[in-house]
A and B are shown apart, each in its own frame.
Chain A
Amino acid sequence: MIRSMDVRKRGNKLGFWFFRTALKLTGLSGAYGLLYIVCLYYLLFDRTAVSASMAYVNRRFKGFSSVRKYQAVYRLFISQGRSLIDRYYVVSGLGRFDIELRGYDRIKRLLDDSKKGIILLTAHVGNWQVTMTALEKLGKTVYLLMSPEENAAVKESLNIDSGNEKVKIISPDNFLGGVIEIMKAIDEGSIVSIMGDRSYGHSTSEVVLLGDRAYFPQSAFSIAAAAGCPVVVLLSAKVSTRKYFLDVSHVMEPRYSSRVKKKEEMEGFIQEYAGVLEDYSAEYPYQWFLFHDIWKGEN
């Protein structure tokens, strides 16, 4: 989810105005250019942001020297900046991106063949807010499990959590983490989008990720197993200035054979998901915006 503590603390109205103006006057390339200066400032003076990135960078770029790891952090900051600019570019109606959609037929068939909905498992990769628009043609209501954005500047500029008739928000702060609303949405044949690479304090399972033990949330898998619906992994990445891909081809059917084996079998699915993200980071190392230490136990 883009609502990270870092974005909330750092975004302000002046900053967004600056980028908006650059975008309108100089287009995407000009706005991207500004990022090199802004991100350098964060690299040099924002220790919290740098150290938040290091958990991922240290594991993904193991053999790198310290200098190269800082370069990797810099590239990550720039890459996330581009993603936010792209988001604003679409939200403000300045333009659109080409989105190559992979796996659409399968997801369509899943929804057509069953009365139940699906869980769309997203992660802090690429730009799901921009690319998910390609799924509008499914004609299904999408429920996003996310907390309301608290930063007024981010909310206003990036339109993070505003729902409409086809996109609705379920807050994890609702009673029982919103599971009643989630179960209802699945029962009605809708799509529920849940973030799979950060637990936000909910129950986690241990996985091996980039060579170390990490902790991924169980919720999407446990809910899918209970509701009898599939989990569709959603990946996206920016492949050129004006093009993204959206991949929904990896489908899992989390089920367990018995109560006794439930924990073990669920962990197998969560590990499979960790493997999918590891493959993604091998190909797009600078598009996994993991500014949180998921290798440190949290439950």
Chain B
Amino acid sequence: MQSNEAQDLAGIKKKLKELLVEDLSLEDIKPEEIGDNEILFGEGLGLDSLDAVEIVVILQRKFGLEVKDLENRKDVFYSIDSLAKYIYENKKKDA
């Protein structure tokens, strides 16, 4: 059971990194170079608020999540790890 969760999370993280590089047109960065706990906004990966718009769209369109649930969830946008956990938990709820 534990290994299934770990596997699912790893899969989500891999997909997220690929989508971030592609949809945010991150130049000179390969998906595998993004750390799971790297800070996404400001320092770290250096994303800005317009990149956040794209991330919200990724969460909606690629993972079927609703934007209304993301209000006041600053913690979700901290890193790939926090995003992946949020996606995993919310997709599980829907299943």
Contacts and interface: CB of A to CB of B under 8 A. Distances in A.
Interface string A152-180: 00000000000000000000000111011
Of the candidates A176, A222, A223, the one having the most CB atoms from chain B within 10 angstroms of its own CB is A176
A180 B66 CA distance: 11
B49 A176 contact: yes
B88 interface: no
Interface of A: 175-177, 179-181, 183-184, 187-188, 202-203, 218-219, 222-223, 226-227, 259-260, 262
Contact of B57 (A177, A202, A218, A226): A226
For chain B, give the interface size range: 20 to 34
Contact of A180 (B22, B54, B70): B70
A177 B22 contact: no
Given A259-B22, A259-B25, A176 B52 contact: yes
B25 A226 contact: no
A183 B61 CA distance: 13
B29 to A, nearest CB: 14
A187 B68 contact: yes
A179 B56 contact: yes
Given A176-B77, A259-B25, A226 B71 contact: no
A240 to B, nearest CB: 41
B52 A180 contact: yes
Contacts of B53: 179, 183, 222-223, 226-227
Of the candidates B22, B23, B49, B68, the one having the most CB atoms from chain A within 10 angstroms of its own CB is B49
A183 B74 contact: no
A226 B49 contact: no
B34 to A, nearest CB: 17
A203 B67 contact: no
B38 interface: no
B25 A222 contact: no
Nearest to B74: A175
A179 B59 CA distance: 14
